[in-house]
Chains A and B, each alone.
Chain A
Amino acid sequence: MPGIPLPSWLGPEPDEPLLDMVLAGQTLPGDAPQGIVTMADGLANLAAPAGPGELPGEAAALTAFKRSVSPGSLSAVAGTAGTRRRRVAAGGRVRLAAVLAAVGIVLGGTAAAYAGALPAPVQELAHHVLGAPAARHSSDGHPRTPPSHAARTGPQPGERGRGSLEHAAPHGIAKNGAKNAHSAHPGKPVRQRQGGHGRNPKKSSRLNR
């Protein structure tokens, strides 16, 4: 009510505007009490730039910063959006590579099955599943290694050059190849070669039937 003075504790303190100016870092008026001016100057000193020896830890902070921005340091910034994006991209690449590898294996395996180049048990399986040619069998009833495989395993280790030529030329040179195969591999493939006498392995297998 007008005319009735309020007790001081209900109203604003007379120094409040000055104190707000101190808190805001503003310049105080010239008639401000000396104690407040001195205090304001001292507080301003606290907000001053770094003095000598007031930057300890800079090297450690910079090292941490360098690690966080280097490409290989995922752990330093784990949980950030950038890291998550990189992880998602890497996961996508792995999945794509796996799919491509699986497609390659399926296509390559199918082609090998129709070419009759698979090991006999696998060739038999491909015959039943894919309708590829059946595995050829030797006269003793055992599945026979495909001819191309036998030709590849024929040459002696020291005669690889000639062996490759033998494989490329079905006649003539194949004679040496059969001889080499006999000495190196006394097993079933060699016996078929003996029956063929250096002929084309495919042809000799037909003769053995």
Chain B
Amino acid sequence: MLGPAFPATLADAQGGDELAFAAIFRDVQPVLLRYLHMIAPAAAEDVAAETWLQVVAGLTGFSGEERAFRAWLFTIARHRAADWGRARGRRPTVPLVDSGAIEMLLAPDTADVVIERISTRAVLSALATLPRDQGEIIMLRVVAGLDAADVARIVGKSSGAVRVAAHRGLRRLADVVDRSGVTL
């Protein structure tokens, strides 16, 4: 995150400064893509591009601090991802815990594969084993840097439900790491 530099950078970008806008883009785009790889894996870059178009169109009208900016941007991204999913007749998600996929992930060969990928892709793979709402909430809380109230507004749940889902997801993730011996 840009931190204390954000207000001035945002003001410059709203005034038409390309470098300021590029600084904001470079700060947010990586985490935006990682988030979109989880909720719209086949169209993460396309959805990100549509998100930025909408951000650019509304940039001059935005006012707020950095976390509010990220909350606004990730809300747009989630809506665009939902549009993409509707447009392509997204298949219903099945919680992996019910499908036995976690056991498949913990099979020696799969664990070996995960161990070999000591990278962000390994973390994303581990997160992908979680139920979708838990993985998304963890991404928004930890990766996007939003607080529970922001995430609650984005996903349409109460702050308490967000906290519970995040804890459950983290426990499950830690359990996967522990049992598989994965070194992330």
Q: Is the CB of B178 within 8 A of A51?
A: no
- Pairwise interchain contact A64-B177, C-beta atoms closer than 8 A: no
Q: Are B49 and A35 in contact (CB under 8 A)?
A: no
> Could you tell me the distance in whole angstroms from the C-beta of A81 to the nearest C-beta in chain B?
7
Contact B56 A61 (CB under 8 A): yes
Residues of A within 8 A of B16 (CB): 69
Interface assignment of B29: CB less than 8 Å from any CB of chain A: yes
Q: Is B26 an interface residue (CB 8 A)?
A: yes
A residues 31-73 touching B (CB-CB < 8 Å): 33-36, 38-39, 41-51, 54-58, 60-62, 64-66, 68-69
Query: For the complex, is A19 an interface residue (Cβ under 8 Å from B)?
Result: yes
Contacts of A41 in B (CB 8 A): 184
Count A interface residues, CB 8 Å.
44
Asked if B57 is at the interface (CB within 8 A of a chain A CB), the reply is: yes
Complex Cα–Cα for A199 and B177 (A): 115
B120 and A51 within 8 A (CB): yes
Q: Is B166 a contact of A43 with CB atoms below 8 Å?
A: no
Chain A residues within 8 Å of B29, by CB: 50, 54-55, 57-58, 61
Partner of B26, one of A33, A43, A48, A55: A55
| Cβ of B123 under 8 Å from chain A | yes
> Is B25 a contact partner of A58 (Cβ separation < 8 A)?
yes
Cβ-based interface call for A112 (8 A): no
Which of B56, B126, B175, B184 is in CB contact (< 8 Å) with A65? B56
Q: Which residues of B contact A (CB under 8 A)?
A: 13, 16, 18, 21-22, 25-27, 29-31, 33-34, 45, 48-49, 52-53, 56-61, 119-120, 122-124, 126, 138-139, 141-143, 145, 166-167, 170-171, 173-175, 177-178, 182-184
* Contact assessment for A54 and B30 in the assembled complex, using a CB-CB cutoff below 8 Å: yes
Q: What are 15 contact pairs spanning A and B, CB under 8 A? A: A19-B166, A19-B171, A38-B177, A42-B123, A42-B184, A45-B123, A46-B31, A47-B143, A50-B30, A54-B29, A58-B22, A60-B52, A62-B21, A68-B59, A79-B57
B57 touches A76 (CB 8 A): yes
Q: What are the 4 tightest A-B residue pairs by CB atom distance, in nearest-first order?
A: A42-B184, A35-B178, A69-B16, A50-B30
Is A8 positioned at the interface, with any CB of B under 8 Å from its CB? no
Asked if B52 contacts A61 (CB within 8 A), the reply is yes
A13 touches B167 (CB 8 A): yes
- A34 contact set on B, CB distance < 8 A: 178
Do residues A23 and B170 form an inter-chain contact, with CB atoms below 8 A?
yes
A82 nearest in chain B by CB position: B60
Nearest-Cβ distance from residue B142 to partner chain A, whole angstroms = 5
Known pairs A46-B139, A77-B60; A65 contacts B30 (CB<8 A): no
CB distance from B148 to the nearest CB of A (A): 8
In the complex the two chains form, what is the Cα distance from A52 to B139 in whole Å?
21
> B56 to chain A: which residues have CB within 8 Å?
61, 64-65, 68, 76
A39 B173 Cβ-Cβ under 8 A: yes
Digit string of A72-93 for contact with B (CB within 8 Å is 1, else 0)? Answer: 0000111111100000000000
Interface centre among A13, A43, A80, A81, by most chain B C-beta atoms within 10 angstroms, is A43
List chain A residues, Cβ under 8 A from B34.
46
